[in-house]
Each structure stands twice: as structure tokens, then as C-alpha cells.
Amino acid sequence: MEISIIALPLIASIISGFFGKLIGDRSSEIITSLLVSISAIFSVLVLYEVVVNQYQENIIIATWISSGSLEVNWSMKIDSLSAVMLVVVTSVSALVHIYSIGYMSHDPHKPRFMAYLSLFTFAMLMLVTADNFIQLFFGWEGVGLCSYFLIGFWFKKESANKAAIKAFVVNRVGDFGFALGIFLIFYLFGTVNYSEVFAKIPNITDKNLVFLGITLNAVDLICLLLFIGAMGKSAQILLHTWLPDAMEGPTPVSALIHAATMVTAGVFLVVRCSPIYEYSDLALNIITIVGMSTAFFAATVALVQNDIKKIIAYSTCSQLGYMFFATGVGAYNVAMFHLFTHAFFKALLFLGSGSVIHAFKDEQNINNMGGVWKKLPYTYSLMIIGTLALTGFPFLSGFYSKDAIIEFAYLRGNTTGYYAAGIGIFTAFLTSIYSWRLIFKTFHGDYNNKEIKIDETHESPIVMLIPLVLLSIGAIFAGFLFKELFIGYEGLNNFWRDSIFFLKPLSTDHPPLWFLLLTPTLVILSIPLAYYLFLKNRNLPERLASINKPLYQFLLNKWYFDELYDVLFVKPSKKLGLFLWKFFDLKIIDGFGPDGISSMIKKFSVKANKFQSGYIYQYAFVMLLGFSALLTFLIVK
């Protein structure tokens, strides 16, 4: 059963990818959705066994590499951490497959799309079930490749091609750091297997290395290099620029890759490597700072965006920041709890936005929507649930997981923890503002679309609504049902066991009552505030934007990161490329190589042609020259 969880999505991808034209569009959709759904059911059964019977296993599928001390297996590591990720990946993937049957109904390349979705699922499952860093890296690069395929699925659209290339290149920056981290691990330990590496980490806590002329502790360096990889994959600040552009892909891609699975790979990596990170206070502090900075940055940018999918994309970026600063303060189990709940409500919001886009015939600008809550009652209701969960409204899933992150940051008791908690609370307030802005401008107020009549908008088909309903159940109940298992005292001892390592036990104290009430109070108060700003007095935000135009432009242009990178990296790279091309390629390599030789032969042939005049004396002269050259050669030899 365990191996089937991995094998079924791969089989689905092969059938749809290679035989899609033969079996037809509908068969491809049914086969891929069915096989991935079976994989999801098996994953739930595995999680049940882990919870109830404390099941743990490391299934060796095959030997991959055996060279010297390097022993790498294809394996399937089943423990609490991987079991949770299996459920998240396969369940969301199965619902996205089913949703895609309706959303992609008019696309001529459905088998290829379904094959990419299934292949992505397979790669992600290989990542989360690895028992060594090489298999992890295989899955890591596999999901990166599949994201390139899926973001650029509409390859005739130039913006989609650019977004796919951007995602691929930016991730290569992070993956380079990740690869260096793996090389360093093998250099220090002679192995890349988790169990062996984690067991040897306490022995090198005092070992120093010189890297780029800087002396660094070996454990610190390993952690920082691995975290660079996590920053790229999970779109943390400085390596985040690919995520909003990735919305050029079909909406199901956004839900699968950028809400619940690929972008959480970085969080999973840090949690999986908790036996390493617990010995590096430097790395944990940096992760906390990067995480809280990302959470705040993305929330501020989302306040002024107008593309419905980009607003939710920046929300994803912000929520990933929460997960990272949870790991930074040592609350790895709380980070996983938020990862688990976030998968449901964020996938719900993305698929809900796809339902809205479907109703508006591919319109994504929320300024061109409005007044359709009665026309799209099911989509509206389900997106309200997703929004309430995202904002941390009391007793929905986000309330339990996000507030727990803020509480554990506060209980950390150091300066970084207090800063993270403060920024987390303020970011929660901003999250609620921009989330309700999206709801009010999309569904309420006046109808603003001049291209489509309001009577032409329609609710999505049942095949698209069923996944939304199932995700809404998770968005409502996942936090309450799994809180004790993930972050309760019993969960730490009986559920996570040795899949997460705590060098310092988490605090069992309770924050003061005012602190516990602060975030939910701000979240609740933000609803009437957003209503006043975006429905009751809609001119006020425009006036505020005109008064604070530099700030508004700063946020609208996403803190000018793209422009900064264009100046620092893109334009210099283009200039260097042009110089190397024109000087080295054209003038030196081509000039002295094929172009030079062909030019010389051409000139020689033009000169030689002049001797073909028909006069005997010229022919005799040429023959004499040839005879003289041959004679000279023979004598010299």
C-alpha cells in the first residue's frame, strides 16, 4: 500500500502523457483523477496507522548509488512528518485533478495538463518520503521542473513563458545553495542518509570551516546553505519574486503548487532537519528574521494589488513567512500545524478565485468585478469560509494554527521572538484587511465589468464545486480536530516522537490573557473597517493613495524588487553576454575559426581563378610553381 502511494501518480502521468491521444481527453482525466484519489485514500490510511498504532517504517525500494562510502537508496520513509505531508500532497492534488476536469474543459491539451499534475504529485511524494538528501534533491528538482511545465503550460502566451523561466532561474539560485549544503554534509560525514547525519551532528558542533574567507561554524554553514534552498522553493524575501508571476499558469496550478505543496517544501526541509538546526542559534535567528520580514512584506504588497490571484499569491508568501518564523523560534510542530491547515484554506481560496475567473470569462482584475454574490452564491459562500480561516477568525482552522505561532514566538522569551510576535500580530491585521478587500470588491458593490453583462456570469459546474466544498470542511474543522495531535502535550510525546527533534523543550507556559485576545480582536475589528473602506466610503482609499503616492507606488511596485534585480543582475548580465558574443564569439572564435578560414579560402580561390585564363603560358607557370613546391618538399624531407 505504501509504495502504491508513490507509484499511482507516476502511472497516471505515464498513461496520460504518452497515451492521452490514444485513450482520449475524458479517459485521461478520469484515470489520473482516480489514481491520485486512490493514493490520497492510502495516505489517509497510513496517517491513521501512524496516529493510532505509532507505525514507523523505512521501506527500501531499490539501491540507487553505491560508490565508496556513498550509499543511496530509493526508499520510502514513513513517520509522523512524512505521513502528514503525504495526506496534504495527495488530498489537495486529488481535488485539484477533479477540479481541473471542469476548469480546463475548453483547453485542447487536457491529457498533457493532467500528466503534468500527476508527475508533479509523484515528484513531491518522492521529496517528502526520502530518507536521504539525494532522493530529497531529486524530488526537489522534480517539482521545480514540473512547476516550469505547469506555469508555462499556455506556451503560446509570452507572459507565461517569461514567468516559467523566471521561476526556474530564481529557484536555481536557491538550489545552488542547497546543493552546496548537501556537498558539505557528505564532505563532513561521508554519508547523506538522514539517520547517520543526524546522529553525527553533535560531534561537530565546535568544528569551524573557512568559507569565502569567513570562518564559520560547520553546523551554522550547513544550516544556512540548506536554508538558502528553502528560501528559493518557499518564496521567502529576496528569492520570492517568481511566486506572483507564476500566477500566469492555469488556476489549478496555483492551487496545487503555490498553496499547498511545492512552496511548503522549504518548511518541510527545515522541520525534517530539526536535528541539525537545533544546534545552530545563528541559523534559527536568521530564519526567524527572514520569516517575519517575508510575512510583513507580502502582506503590505497584497493590500494594493488588483489581480485576484496575485493577492492570494502574496498571501501565500506571507503565510509561509509565518511557518518559517515558527521554525526559527523552535516550534517546528506548530509550523507543521499551520502548513497542514493552510493547505485547506489556501487551496480553497485559489480554486474559489478560479471559479470567479471562470464566471468572468478569464477576467482577473477585481476592479472589473463586483455585485455578483447573488449570481455566484456557492463560490461566494465557500470563499467567505476560506477568508475567515485565512484571517484567523475565531474557531476556524487558521485561528488555531496562526495564533499558536504568534504565541510560541512570544513565549520564546528572546528579542527575536518578541519582534516576530509583534510583527505577526500586525501582519494578521493586514491579512484581514486585504482578504476582505478582495471579497468586498469581487462580490459586493456595483457591477463594474464593461465587457461582460452581469447576466452572462454564472456559477461553476458541480465538478468544480465539489472540491471547494471538501476543502471548506478542512478549512473549518482541521484546526479544532488536529490541534491536540499537532501541538498538544500528548502530540509531542506520542505523535511526533523522533520525527522532530527538540534540543530545548517548548515552553508550557501560557501568554497573558490580553495577548491571547489581541489578535482575534484585531481580526474581528478589521471586518467593519474593510467594509467602510471598500464599500461604504470607496473614495477614501483612493484619496489616501493620492496623498501617500510614493508609499502607494512603492507597494504597488512590490517594493521595487524586480526593478532592483533588473539593474543589479539582468542588465549587467545582458551587457556581459553581448560583449562575450560580439568580441569572443564573433571576432575571435568565428573570426579566426570557421569564418576566418572560409574567408581565406574564398580569397585564395578568387586569386587562383585568375590563372584560369585559357593561356598556355599561365598554365605552364602554375605547373612550374607546383613542381617547384613538390620538389622543395621532397628535398627538405
CA atoms within 13 A on the CB side of 330: 20
- Count the Cβ atoms, other than its own, within 10 Å of residue 372: 23
Nearest one of 142, 134, 145 to 185, comparing CA atoms:
134
Cell 499547498, residue located: 260
Of 610 and 528, the structure prediction assigns the larger pLDDT to 528
pLDDT for 74 beyond 80: yes
Quote the CA–CA distance of 213 and 54 in Å, as a whole number: 47
Quote the CA–CA distance of 2 and 445 in Å, as a whole number: 51
**Pairing status of strand 214-217 against strand 57-67:** unpaired
Neighbouring-strand partners of residue 62: 74
Mean pLDDT of the chain: 88
Mean pLDDT of 520-528: 93
Angle between helices 397-411 and 462-487 (to 10 degrees): 30
Structural contact between residues 117 and 100, judged by C-beta atoms closer than 8 angstroms: yes
Quote the CA–CA distance of 421 and 606 in Å, as a whole number: 82
pLDDT for 385 beyond 80: yes
pLDDT for 315 beyond 80: yes
Structural contact between residues 310 and 244, judged by C-beta atoms closer than 8 angstroms: yes
Quote the CA–CA distance of 45 and 324 in Å, as a whole number: 29
C-alpha dihedral sign at 308, 310, 315, 319: positive
Nearest one of 39, 232, 169, 21 to 117, comparing CA atoms:
39
C-alpha dihedral sign at 9, 11, 16, 17: positive
Quote the CA–CA distance of 134 and 69 in Å, as a whole number: 14
Mean pLDDT of 158-181: 90
Quote the CA–CA distance of 474 and 463 in Å, as a whole number: 18
Out of 18-32, 398-412, 442-456, pick the least confident.
Answer: 442-456
Residue by residue, what is the 3-state secondary structure of 327-344?
HHCCCHHHHHHHHHHHHH
Neighbouring-strand partners of residue 215: 210
Please list the alpha-helical segments (H only) found in 444-569.
462-487, 489-490, 513-531, 539-547, 549-556, 561-565
Mean pLDDT of 96-116: 89
Single-letter amino acid code for the residue at 225: L
Of 451 and 270, the structure prediction assigns the larger pLDDT to 270
Quote the CA–CA distance of 70 and 192 in Å, as a whole number: 7
Query: Could you read off the pLDDT of 333-369 as tens digits, one per residue?
Result: 999 999 999 999 999 999 999 999 988 888 888 888 8
Query: Could you read off the pLDDT of 8-28 as tens digits, one per residue?
Result: 999 999 999 998 888 888 999
CA atoms within 13 A on the CB side of 410: 22
Query: Could you read off the pLDDT of 45-65 as tens digits, one per residue?
Result: 999 999 988 888 888 988 888
Phi then psi for residue 169, to 5 deg, are -70, -45
Residue 260: per-residue pLDDT: 64
Mean pLDDT of 567-592: 82
**Burial class of 206 by CB neighbour count within 10 A (0 to 12, 13 to 18, 19+):** exposed
pTM recorded for the entire structure: 0.90
Cell 551554522, residue located: 220
Query: Could you read off the pLDDT of 195-205 as tens digits, one per residue?
Result: 999 999 998 88
**Burial class of 396 by CB neighbour count within 10 A (0 to 12, 13 to 18, 19+):** buried
- Count the Cβ atoms, other than its own, within 10 Å of residue 164: 24
Mean pLDDT of 505-528: 87
**Burial class of 103 by CB neighbour count within 10 A (0 to 12, 13 to 18, 19+):** buried
| Enclosing H/E stretch for 74 | strand 70-78
DSSP-derived secondary structure letter, 365 = B
Q: Which residues contact 615 (CB under 8 A, 6 or more apart)?
A: none
Structural contact between residues 27 and 125, judged by C-beta atoms closer than 8 angstroms: no
Quote the CA–CA distance of 195 and 173 in Å, as a whole number: 28
pLDDT more than 70, % of the chain = 98
Quote the CA–CA distance of 534 and 300 in Å, as a whole number: 17
Structural contact between residues 215 and 262, judged by C-beta atoms closer than 8 angstroms: no
Q: What is the grid cell recorded at 502?
A: 527538540
Q: What is the grid cell recorded at 103?
A: 476548469
Structural contact between residues 471 and 344, judged by C-beta atoms closer than 8 angstroms: yes
Mean pLDDT of 98-118: 89
Residue 537: per-residue pLDDT: 84
